[in-house]
A and B are shown apart, each in its own frame.
Chain A
Amino acid sequence: MLSAPLLSGYMLLWISFAVLTALVLLALLSPLRTRVRDEDAGRASFDLAVYRDQLSELERDQKAGLIPDSEADAARNEVSRRILAAQSELASKEEVARPVPAWLSVATVIAVPAIALGGYMMIGRPDLPSLPLQARIDAAVANQDMAAMVRQVEKHLEQKPNDARGWAVLAPAYKRIGRLNDAANAYRKALALSGPDPDLMTDMGESLVLANNGLVSNEAQEVFEAVRKAAPKHMKARFYLALALQQEGKTADALAGWNAMLAESSPDAPWRSAVEQQISSAGGQLPKGPALTEEQIQQGQQMSATDRTAMIRSMVEGLDERLAADGSDIDGWLRLIRARMVLGDKEKATDALNRASEALKNDQQAVTQLEEARKALGL
């Protein structure tokens, strides 16, 4: 991101490592070089210190009348016996300071940096600088980074959550970076603050559809319905309403909707081609877009209608075979089920769904998704 400071940061990092290692070596080796005072107390003297304290404690307790005299005397006898035993041991001193073996210092100087560096290189990432969020946002704003700008607007909205315009700006940005649920929620906020607006409502519905892998959910359908009531001429809403009809299996109604749109629009309307494509696919029992990747659709658009059907059928069969071999791809299954449905083959769709449930029965999230698909498609 920022190449010049990164380089110096990298060097600084290695300098810090070197300093840290040097400090560690210094701390570990210096006690070996200091003189240990030979007149240090012998082992038994530590016991004696404790025993003498116990005697004085007895004295205190007895004076305060906390323990009866007989008990105090017995205890004093016992402690005194221990003192005598300790004093006899006092003469023998076990420990001496010997010269440090040379190999120890050498081994330490070699092994500490070697193990530390070796261990660090195995798990560390010296190439990565730290990335505090604030610094990233500052840098990203300078670089026009979408994700960071989104964060910036979010921050603004945390301060002023009632800024309808802010939400209206944030929503399409979310949509662009693929946070489709957040986009729908942001549209919802904007709508709640600014009141109904057909464009915003349609965009919100569209986000919901995209977030749902191209399926028009009940919620989205309600939004589009509301738009149609308020603005009967709103083409985008009508487009999605027709799509919803098609997905429910009411292909004829869907075609009627799209045809009506074509009849009402001027020949150079920008969305004409999209509608025409839907009509041709639905009318010729052709599959629709969201079931396949965009690349495949673009390929498909350049072919004749029959070629396209054939291509799509072969792709669907290929997908089916792949999933039969390896059933762990939930997205693949969902695509297959939808494609079967759109091709009008309910039996095969049900079959695919059952096979998917069998293959993914241990994956709870997948089971849930399949269950949703089952409901949405009415299988």
Chain B
Amino acid sequence: MAMTRKQQRGALIGAGLGALGLAAGLILYALSDTITFFYTPTDVVEKGVQPGTRFRLGGLVADGSIVRGQGKTVSFTVTDTAGTMPVTYVGILPDLFREGQGVIAEGVLDAGGSFRADTVLAKHDENYMPREVADALKEKGVWQQSDKPAKEGTQ
């Protein structure tokens, strides 16, 4: 069944459109179903997020809020300085998880208004250099260690 040039091009275009349509369908379906929103504690209040919704909560770990030693459960408070939200997490926190540090927790809001996280991410790279410190470096010619977090949790 030899094809003419025209038929061949038609078949190719047809197959291409088919693959494109399949991909587009899958992508649209998946995007409507699987994406996770990112909120700060203030957003959660303002947007009236319903309990049971899955989302990513970002902000700073409030000072003095980490409570460990209830077995495997850790609880802490995430703040964006305007609002706060209590978080509970079962498992092992990342190494760079610290008070005053940016954090992203993914999980579900429960009926009591607290957030049950199943994933907690802290920043991964300390190589980030805040501009202020870099300037100070040039001014003084002395390198100083910075504990300033990368703020990725609040961006």
Contact = CB atoms under 8 A, between A and B. Distances in A.
Interface of A: 361, 364-365, 367-368, 371
12 contacts: A361-B81, A364-B60, A364-B100, A364-B102, A364-B149, A364-B151, A365-B130, A365-B147, A365-B148, A367-B81, A367-B100, A371-B63
| Closest CB pairs A-B (n = 8) | A368-B100, A365-B148, A371-B63, A361-B81, A364-B151, A364-B148, A364-B149, A367-B81
Contacts of A368: 63, 100
Contacts of A367: 81, 100
A368 B151 CA distance: 13
Centre residue among A364, A365, A367, A368 by max chain B CB count within 10 A = A364
Interface in B79-117: 81, 100, 102
A368 B149 CA distance: 11
Given A364-B60, A368-B100, 16 more contacts: A361-B81, A364-B100, A364-B102, A364-B148, A364-B149, A364-B151, A365-B130, A365-B132, A365-B146, A365-B147, A365-B148, A367-B81, A367-B100, A368-B63, A371-B63, A371-B100
Contacts of B149: 364
A96 B100 CA distance: 71
A311 B60 CA distance: 41
Centre residue among B63, B130, B149 by max chain A CB count within 10 A = B63
A284 B29 CA distance: 76
A337 B147 CA distance: 23
> Which DSSP category, helix, strand, loop or mixed, fits chain A's interface?
helix
Interface residues on B, range: 10 to 19
Interface string B100-141: 101000000000000000000000000000101000000000
Nearest to B63: A371
Nearest to B146: A365
A361 B63 CA distance: 15
Contacts of B130: 365
B65 to A, nearest CB: 12
Nearest to B142: A178
A367 B146 CA distance: 15
Nearest to A367: B81
A371 B61 CA distance: 13
Contacts of A371: 63, 100
Contacts of A365: 130, 132, 146-148
Nearest to B154: A364
Contacts of B102: 364
A304 B21 CA distance: 88
Contacts of B146: 365
B48 to A, nearest CB: 24
Interface in B21-78: 60, 63
Centre residue among B100, B147, B149, B151 by max chain A CB count within 10 A = B100
Centre residue among A367, A368, A371 by max chain B CB count within 10 A = A368
Nearest to A368: B100
Nearest to A177: B142
A368 B100 CA distance: 7
Contacts of A364: 60, 100, 102, 148-149, 151
Nearest to A362: B81
A367 B79 CA distance: 12
B91 to A, nearest CB: 26
Nearest to B151: A364
A371 B79 CA distance: 14
A365 B129 CA distance: 13
Nearest to B62: A371
Nearest to A365: B148
A364 B60 CA distance: 9
Nearest to A181: B145
Contacts of B147: 365
